[in-house]
Amino acid sequence: MSTQIFRLRLEREKDVVAARRTARDIAAGLGFSALDQTRIASAVSEIARNAFMYADGGEVVFAFDGASRPQALLIDVSDRGPGIRDLQEVLDGSYRSSSGMGRGIAGTRRLMDRCLIESAPQRGTRVSMARFLPPDASRLSIAELDRLARSLGQQAVEAAVADEMQQQSRELLSTLAELRDRQDELARLTHELEATNRGVVALYAELDERADELRRADMMKTRFLSNMSHELRTPLSSIRALSNLLLNRLDGDLSAEQERQVVLIRQAAENLSDIVNDLLDLAKIEAGKTEVYPARFEVPALFAALRAMLTPLLTDPAVSLHFNDAAGLPALHSDEAKLTQILRNFVSNALKFTERGEIRVGARVEPDGENITFFVADTGIGIAAEHQQVIFEEFGQVQNRLQQRVKGTGLGLPLCRKLAALLGGYVGVNSEPGLGSTFYVTLPIQLPVDGASETEMPGALQ
Amino acid sequence: MERIPILRMGNCLIVAIQVDMHDRLAIALQDDLTERIVKDKAKGVLIDISALDVVDSFIGRMISNTAAMATVLDAETVVVGMQPSVAITLVELGLTLSGVSTALNVEKGMALLQQRRR
């Protein structure tokens, strides 16, 4: 009749240590001498290690037989391993294992009072050991055994908890190390990023500088243009006035040849002054010096004035100028002078590039009811699609057979574009080479209040 | 992974085994010790096992092997402080720790090492 005291599973290497510690504690608890405690612990250590090493684990059961004479501590170690191959040789002590071990079992038999080994190939091994208490030892009560078992269980739990804690703190340490690595990495990245940032900031500063330079250069150009235009206009006025004096015979008579030449001089001076005027207008707009003077006016009156202004330019009988009926169009509130300038430019352009046919000027209200479009349609040489953008840029001219004959600087249409922008509108062209072109300007019927147009203007002009 | 600390004193290494070693820890100690013998050019190794109350065949063999290795590396090994019950058990187990010098305590062990060096 035996009482089980403790049961221990051999799953990890540390369980072998736990087994021999437990064996020692139990032996001490049962009243074995110090020497016997060491013997029992050593024997358990040997057998438990065998079970762990050769069978990958097993179980140790400690029990106490209080009924026998003498009382005995019973220890069973069992596993489900491959069994012991040369059991007899091992027991004899004649076995020499390749690992230099193989002395444990034989030694254990000497350390214990009883040691039975049952081993079946592939079914496992069971080692039953016993060590007797001295015959004169006092009898142990069930209560004492119980207390021993309970304290062992308590120790096992504590050991497990300690083990768990150790495991956790190890994990914590490795997590901390990882965190530090991560932080280092982050610091490195931040450093790199800062360097990049500095580079970007430096680059921005450089860009700003460049932009400033460009702006200054642009301003210089505008100032140069407006100054030069002023400087050019004065002598041109003199030339025109003087040629007029000559033509009016105020300084004596002119021969027919002389008159022809002076007329040519005056014509050239007038052309030049037109160009200079255009230049000056452009420069003024770019400098933001152009004022818009909105006023209320009617389209028919505008057309009448245009007709009066443009009819003298019609020198070729093959080309006629028509104005569409403007009745029913709403009155405009805009800058009449600037609109007139745009349309005059369109018409004089049309005259330049139309050899025969007609030039038609008209207007229509846009479907939205807030904008009006004026157009000048001709039957001239037309403009190829790829050139339609170029003509609105300064000094942009398209080479064609008529270009040689007519004069121009390529400033007219860019000026129109800028004037239209000043009026809150835009210019455009539809053209078919050989059939003719239609230039148009679309602008609001009611020019927006000054404040709005002023803030928009710089953007529209650049 | 826990480790058994190895101390150096002069040209001797001192190891005090204070815990019940599991097998892997014992092997790690063996590796550490041989490495330190080479690194510190130690001439003597003192292993104190007074805290061990169980020395089974594996630990015993480890001690014996360590001593043999140290000898090959030109260092003397002295095991000190073995408890009587451990000694008896070792003999009963059939282990004799051949080739390992022993001394009763650290003081006598150190004296033994000094004497051998001369």
Q: A112 and chain B: CB distance < 8 Å anywhere?
A: no
Domain membership flag for residue A459: no
Q: A21 and chain B: CB distance < 8 Å anywhere?
A: yes
Same domain for A117 and A15: yes
3-state secondary structure A260-309: HHHHHHHHHHHHHHHHHHHHHHHHHHHCCCCCCCCEEECHHHHHHHHHHH
% residues pLDDT > 90 (chain A): 18
Mean pLDDT of A36-63: 89
Same domain for A142 and A191: no
Q: Domain limits at A232? A: 178-287
Nearest to B57 among A20, A37, A104 (CB): A104
Q: DSSP per residue over B59-95, as a string?
A: HHHHHHHHHHHHHHTT-EEEEE---HHHHHHHHHHT-
Same domain for A410 and A302: yes
Domain membership flag for residue A325: yes
ipTM of the complex: 0.88
Domain membership flag for residue A169: no
Same domain for A33 and A133: yes
Chain B nearest-CA residue for A15: B22
Q: What does the pLDDT read at residue A223?
A: 80
Q: Summarize pLDDT for A120-179 with one digit per residue, the tens.
A: 887 888 899 999 988 887 887 888 888 888 888 888 888 889 888 988 999 999 999 999
Higher pLDDT, A178 or B56: A178
Banded model confidence at residue A325, pLDDT cuts 50, 70, 90: confident
Domain membership flag for residue B112: no
Domain count across chain B: 1
Q: Which single residue is written with the structure tokens 């095991």?
A: B79
Mean pLDDT of B24-44: 92
CATH code where residue B19 lies: 3.30.750.24
Domain membership flag for residue A75: yes
Distances in Å between the Cα of A18 and the Cα atoms of A8, A9, A104, B55 are 8, 10, 18, 14
Domain membership flag for residue A173: no
pLDDT at position A89 over 80: no
Q: What does the pLDDT read at residue A396?
A: 65
Banded model confidence at residue B30, pLDDT cuts 50, 70, 90: very high
Q: How far away is chain A from the Cα of B18, in angstroms, using its nearest Cα?
A: 14
Mean pLDDT of A32-58: 89
Q: How far away is chain B from the Cα of A101, in angstroms, using its nearest Cα?
A: 8
Report the distance separating Cα A216 and Cα A214, nearest Å: 5
CB A144 within 8 A of CB A162: no
pTM of whole model > 0.90?
Answer: no
Report the distance separating Cα A293 and Cα A113, nearest Å: 127
Tell me if A35 and B89 make a contact (CB, 8 A cut-off): yes
Interface of A with B in 344-383 (CB under 8 A): none
Tell me if A13 and B23 make a contact (CB, 8 A cut-off): yes
Banded model confidence at residue B44, pLDDT cuts 50, 70, 90: very high
Domain membership flag for residue B93: yes
Distances in Å between the Cα of B75 and the Cα atoms of A128, A228, B100 are 43, 104, 12
Q: A103 and chain B: CB distance < 8 Å anywhere?
A: yes
Domain membership flag for residue A170: no
Domain membership flag for residue A160: no
Same domain for A127 and A191: no
Q: Domain limits at B33? A: 6-107
CB A285 within 8 A of CB A419: yes
Banded model confidence at residue A395, pLDDT cuts 50, 70, 90: low
Same domain for A406 and A279: no
Q: How far away is chain B from the Cα of A207, in angstroms, using its nearest Cα?
A: 59
